[in-house]
Amino acid sequence: MNQQNEIEELFYIKKNYSQIKEKLKNNSDLQNLNLLGKIYLNELNLNKAIDCFFKSKSSYEFGYCLFLKGEYDKALKVFNYINNQSSAVKWNIFLIKLIRNEVKDYPTFFQIRNYYERDLDILIQLKQKEAVKTILENIKYLEQFNSEIYKYTARVLLNNGITETAKNYIKKSIDICYKDPENHFIMGEIYEKTGEKEEAKKSYLKVLEVNKDYMPAKEKIKFL
């Protein structure tokens, strides 16, 4: 196996990022610099990620990291420079405008499905409180384009330990679509986190009422 294949195996399959960083130390290959930037982004080391993406000429990733840092003017300049119609670029331009309360356009159903959870999760981890607050204040607007937005939000909040707020969002999602098994499953996970095992079991049973073949719920019930 040549070194490039070994590096890609470490990144995509083994996910051994520390070993990759050692191997790529002082490496100037553009593809490898891009991989290194993705590792630093995964670690939320934005300054090092930005450096790698700049050197590797990875324009979208470079602009995305500027967005995550809250450097919106610089990020917009990069996204406008890219000047393509990719879904990711258009979503990030929209999200910056939403955060700045300058929205004049709208996102698509698939943009929200593909990018919203990722971005909200990272912004919470980076403690970008004002950005997160503004996004959540505009959730009713986002609901017009994808009614699953409450489910996505609840899942992110749950994964970040914000369980009580997550419960409010998943209740709203259940009200909108009772027959979505994921809604009841997330509610069950929230109850588990708060130590309410009987309520969790009831939620997992509701999952099976909606979809009797939903295996994750069956596995959960076994251990409650």
Task: Supply the DSSP string of 90-121, one letter for each residue.
Answer: HHHHHHHHHHTT---S---HHHIIIIIHHHHH
Report if residue 45 sits inside a domain. yes
Query: What is the chain's pLDDT, residue by residue, as a tens digit (224 residues)?
Result: 456 666 666 566 666 677 777 777 777 788 889 989 999 999 999 999 999 999 999 999 999 999 999 999 999 999 999 977 799 999 999 999 999 999 888 999 999 999 999 999 999 999 999 999 999 999 999 999 999 999 999 999 999 999 999 999 999 999 999 999 999 999 999 999 999 999 999 999 999 999 999 999 999 999 88
- Token duo for residue 153: 């939000």
Structural domain span for residue 99: 67-146
Report if residue 21 sits inside a domain. yes
**CATH label of the domain that carries residue 206:** 1.25.40.10
Q: Which one of 115, 146, 177 terminates a domain? A: 146
On whether both 219 and 172 belong to a single domain, the answer is yes
On whether both 120 and 140 belong to a single domain, the answer is yes
Report if residue 91 sits inside a domain. yes
Q: In the prediction, which pLDDT does 6 show?
A: 63
On whether both 43 and 88 belong to a single domain, the answer is no
Which DSSP letter does residue 204 get? H
Report if residue 220 sits inside a domain. yes
Contacts 24+ apart (CB under 8 A), 103-112: 103/138, 103/141, 106/144, 106/145, 107/142, 107/145, 107/146, 108/145, 109/145, 109/146, 111/87, 112/142, 112/145, 112/146, 112/148, 112/149, 112/152
Report if residue 62 sits inside a domain. no
Say if residues 57 and 81 touch (Cβ distance below 8 Å).
no
On whether both 90 and 130 belong to a single domain, the answer is yes
Q: Which one of 146, 170, 191 terminates a domain? A: 146
Q: In the prediction, which pLDDT does 7 show?
A: 65
What does the alpha-carbon distance between residue 174 and residue 81 come to, in Å, rounded to a whole number?
A: 41
On whether both 139 and 188 belong to a single domain, the answer is no
- Write the single-letter amino acid at 222: K
Domain total of the chain: 3
On whether both 74 and 141 belong to a single domain, the answer is yes
On whether both 17 and 38 belong to a single domain, the answer is yes
On whether both 163 and 139 belong to a single domain, the answer is no
- Token duo for residue 2: 């040549």
Q: In the prediction, which pLDDT does 29 show?
A: 84
On whether both 164 and 140 belong to a single domain, the answer is no
Report if residue 52 sits inside a domain. yes
Sign of the Cα pseudo-torsion (198, 204, 207, 209, in order): negative
On whether both 71 and 142 belong to a single domain, the answer is yes
